[in-house]
């Protein structure tokens, strides 16, 4: 009969799809994980994973076990919360995925404030320009621009934010005239690498007829750095402008975008109190910080 330790190993391999990734999650070596998986399969009398050079994939039997293992995991998390007591604050480790703009300009101050009030809390911020797979537990929760269309996920809108074209004072002092969108053809425009735009909501320049900017990065923080150095102009989050003195909005009456941040959580975490408390504090903090920074922009 499988116990909770067996289920932790099963979930790690199912999510990591390899012994090495599962080992990193469990803080043990891949050989140990392999022995634990073999022992679990032998004890249950079924094969849970198909092995191949590409990794470990769930069998039909493994897929049927998955929701039961996730339910046990959620129940164990609730039990840990109950033992900690209502006044214990938020404890343990939480991994939070976010696009780099949010991770760079919003999350540091918000997460720092939450951690200051909860000394037992450990937060890992994963800033990657892609969509996070919560079903594989790449993160406990994630911030996204587009809400997912499917999956057993909890989705909460955090709030709207605005974007405008912006350029540095130094660039504008020597650049060609910029009286309207039609003048953009005479300027170097900075934007995303077209084939690395992981969310259509980030395709800021298409409405201006610009498909391939001459200077590009997959990270908004790098784009803003280039703009601040006078390399050209580009689309910037209003909440990022206070971090770039000397960069200001241009053509604000002609071009403005509104996007939204959403907090995405796994459906199994609905009744895990510490994750619910963290999510509540995170959303409230992000809303306050968005408002403050946009007022300063």
Question: How confident is the model at residue 226, as a pLDDT?
Answer: 97
Question: How confident is the model at residue 284, as a pLDDT?
Answer: 97
Alpha-carbon span 178 to 184, nearest angstrom = 7
- For a pLDDT cut of 90, what percent of the chain falls above it? 53
204-222: pLDDT as tens digits: 998 888 888 999 999 999 9
Mean pLDDT estimate for the chain: 88
In this prediction, residue 173 has a pLDDT band, given cuts at 50, 70 and 90, of very high
How far CA 94 is from CA of 10, 32, 178, 180, 279, in Å, comes to 20, 25, 46, 46, 10
160-257 carries CATH number 3.40.190.10: yes
What average pLDDT score do residues 50-60 get?
A: 90
Question: How confident is the model at residue 248, as a pLDDT?
Answer: 97
Alpha-carbon span 247 to 182, nearest angstrom = 21
Alpha-carbon span 177 to 297, nearest angstrom = 23
For CATH 3.40.190.10, the residue range(s) in the chain are 92-159+260-296, 160-257
Alpha-carbon span 20 to 55, nearest angstrom = 10
Question: How confident is the model at residue 11, as a pLDDT?
Answer: 87
Spatial contact of 144 and 264, defined as CB atoms under 8 Å apart: yes
Residue 57, beta-bridge partner list: 50
> Which among 262, 282, 290 has a CA at the least distance from the CA of 163?
290
Alpha-carbon span 31 to 16, nearest angstrom = 15
Question: How confident is the model at residue 118, as a pLDDT?
Answer: 93
Question: How confident is the model at residue 131, as a pLDDT?
Answer: 57
For CATH 1.10.10.10, the residue range(s) in the chain are 4-84
- Region for 285 from its dihedrals, namely left if φ exceeds 0, alpha if ψ lies in -120 to 50, beta otherwise: alpha
Count the residues in the chain.
Answer: 297
Please say if the pLDDT value at position 130 is more than 70.
no
What average pLDDT score do residues 175-182 get?
A: 93
What average pLDDT score do residues 198-205 get?
A: 87
State which fold the 92-159+260-296 domain adopts.
D-Maltodextrin-Binding Protein; domain 2 (3.40.190)
- The CATH architecture that domain 4-84 belongs to is Orthogonal Bundle (1.10)
Most confident of 67-76, 80-89, 161-170: 161-170
89 compared with 134, residue with greater pLDDT: 89
Spatial contact of 59 and 50, defined as CB atoms under 8 Å apart: yes
Question: How confident is the model at residue 4, as a pLDDT?
Answer: 81
In this prediction, residue 92 has a pLDDT band, given cuts at 50, 70 and 90, of confident
């Amino acid at each position: 009969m499988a116990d909770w330790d067996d289920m932790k190993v099963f979930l790690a391999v199912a999510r990591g799809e390899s012994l090495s990734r599962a080992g990193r999650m469990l803080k043990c070596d891949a050989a140990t994980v392999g022995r634990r998986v073999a022992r679990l399969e032998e004890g249950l009398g079924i094969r849970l994973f198909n092995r191949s050079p590409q990794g470990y994939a769930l069998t039909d039997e493994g897929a049927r076990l998955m929701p039961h293992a996730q339910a046990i995991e959620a129940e164990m998390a609730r039990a840990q919360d109950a033992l900690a007591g209502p006044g214990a604050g938020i404890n343990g480790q939480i991994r939070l995925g976010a696009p780099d703009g949010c991770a760079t300009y919003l999350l540091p101050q918000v997460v720092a404030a939450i951690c200051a009030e909860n000394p037992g809390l450990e937060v890992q911020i994963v800033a990657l320009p892609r969509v996070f797979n919560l079903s594989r537990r790449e993160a406990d929760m994630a911030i996204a621009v587009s809400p997912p269309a499917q999956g057993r996920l909890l989705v909460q809108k955090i709030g709207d934010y605005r974007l405008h074209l912006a350029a540095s004072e130094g660039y504008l002092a020597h650049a060609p005239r910029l009286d309207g969108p039609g003048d953009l053809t005479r300027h170097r425009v900075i934007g995303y690498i077209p084939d690395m735009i992981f969310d259509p909501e980030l395709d800021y320049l298409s409405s201006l007829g610009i498909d391939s900017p001459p200077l590009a990065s997959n990270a908004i923080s790098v784009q803003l750095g280039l703009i601040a150095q006078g390399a050209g102009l580009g689309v910037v989050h209003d909440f990022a402008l206070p971090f770039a003195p000397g960069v200001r909005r241009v053509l604000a009456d002609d071009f403005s975008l509104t996007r939204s941040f959403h907090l995405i959580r796994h459906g199994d975490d609905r009744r895990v109190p510490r994750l619910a408390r963290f999510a509540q504090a995170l959303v409230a903090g992000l809303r306050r910080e968005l408002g403050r920074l946009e007022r300063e922009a």
